[in-house]
């Protein structure tokens, strides 16, 4: 369907269309076809031959807009078609709100097509803040169909960063998804994105709320890896555990220390992680004296792991 709502009939070849008699199509040559010839339909070859000719002439017209619609119908992942289409839309000063309606249909049919999401972003950039709420609603619809759609989540993050969408509304959106599915790793990632974007001062109240939320989910589903990863990210990247020394929990400290140990074992900034893990295990010998010998052993284990990693590097 074209921008004006007219159906593009791909069964009618452009070479037989009187409206295109003035254009000499550019077909692929033998070198372009390569050693392995792809079995393309006659309609595909015909449409893209005229597209190449139109692009070479830099023609920005209603007929070339309809031509891009036809080509997109046959290959929605072609970057050059989308780029050319944007140039036509801007040149003709088309209503980009209508273009978003067209893209709704394309994305619903092909939700993981990077090129169409990129085109959508460019159109929204032109439309400005007035398009933000529509994009929030649209991404929610796509995420509702498949909550792991990377492109939809990336687009939503871009909209939030660009147009400063209210923080509380987005936190509520992510919470709703988590209440529906405690294992929704994408929703945890999005929630973490929101906190790091809006709460740059690591507000203790915010972290407290998130930790309590994690506790609730862990109690309901102890083996839920997604919530443990989220909790680990919160604790490792915030100073929560240093705010009230006299109230430090050994469970919290051991969780953080073990997370650092896992980083060491993966050789992720091993030396720095080892220093912090050793400090925590040392503190645990005082906070949790019943298991003091175990925490001392863990400190020795950290040293041994780092030495093995360093030996392997050399």
Residues 6+ apart with CB under 8 A from 51: 67, 68, 71, 81, 84
Give the Cα separation of 176 and 129 in Å (integer). Answer: 25
Neighbour count for residue 218 (Cβ, 10 Å) = 15
Q: Answer whether 60's CB lies under 8 Å from 91's CB.
A: yes
* Catalytic residue positions, numbered: 112
Q: Answer whether 36's CB lies under 8 Å from 135's CB.
A: no
* Placement of tokens 């994305």 in the chain: 107
Give the Cα separation of 232 and 242 in Å (integer). Answer: 15
Give the Cα separation of 186 and 171 in Å (integer). Answer: 13
Give the Cα separation of 100 and 203 in Å (integer). Answer: 38
Residues 6+ apart with CB under 8 A from 89: 3, 65, 96, 99, 123
Neighbour count for residue 92 (Cβ, 10 Å) = 14
Nearest to 284 by CA among 307, 310, 308, 261: 261
**What distance lies between CA 92 and its chain's CA centroid?**
32
Residues 6+ apart with CB under 8 A from 67: 14, 47, 50, 51, 54
Terminal CA-CA length for the chain: 63
What tokens does 117 get?
A: 């999401």
């Amino acid at each position: 369907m074209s921008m004006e709502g007219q159906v593009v009939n791909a069964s009618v070849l452009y070479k037989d269309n009187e409206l295109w008699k003035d254009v000499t199509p550019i077909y692929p040559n033998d070198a372009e076809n390569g050693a392995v010839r792809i079995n393309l339909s006659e309609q595909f070859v015909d449409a893209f031959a005229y597209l190449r000719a139109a692009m070479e002439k830099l023609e920005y017209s209603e007929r070339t807009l309809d031509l891009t619609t036809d080509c997109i119908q046959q290959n929605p992942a072609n970057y050059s078609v989308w780029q050319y289409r944007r140039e036509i839309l801007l040149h003709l000063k088309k209503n980009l709100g209508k273009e978003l309606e067209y893209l709704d249909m394309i994305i619903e049919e092909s939700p993981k097509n990077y090129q169409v999401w990129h085109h959508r972003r460019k159109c929204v950039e032109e439309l400005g803040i007035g398009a933000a709420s529509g994009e929030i609603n649209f991404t929610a619809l796509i995420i509702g169909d498949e909550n792991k759609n990377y492109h939809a989540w990336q687009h939503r993050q871009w909209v939030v960063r660009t147009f400063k969408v209210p923080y509380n509304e987005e936190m509520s959106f992510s919470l709703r998804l988590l209440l529906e599915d405690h294992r929704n790793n994408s929703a945890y990632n999005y929630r973490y994105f929101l906190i790091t974007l809006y709460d740059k001062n690591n507000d203790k109240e915010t972290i407290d709320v998130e930790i309590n939320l994690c506790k609730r989910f862990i109690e309901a589903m102890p083996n839920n890896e997604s919530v443990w990863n989220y909790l680990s990210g919160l604790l490792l990247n915030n100073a929560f555990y240093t705010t009230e020394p006299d109230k430090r929990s050994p469970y919290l400290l051991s969780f953080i220390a073990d997370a650092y140990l896992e980083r060491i074992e993966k050789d992720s900034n091993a030396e720095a992680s080892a220093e912090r893990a050793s400090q925590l295990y040392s503190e645990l010998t005082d906070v949790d004296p019943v298991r003091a010998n175990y925490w001392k052993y863990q400190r020795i284990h950290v040293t041994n792991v780092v030495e093995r990693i360093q030996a392997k590097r050399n």
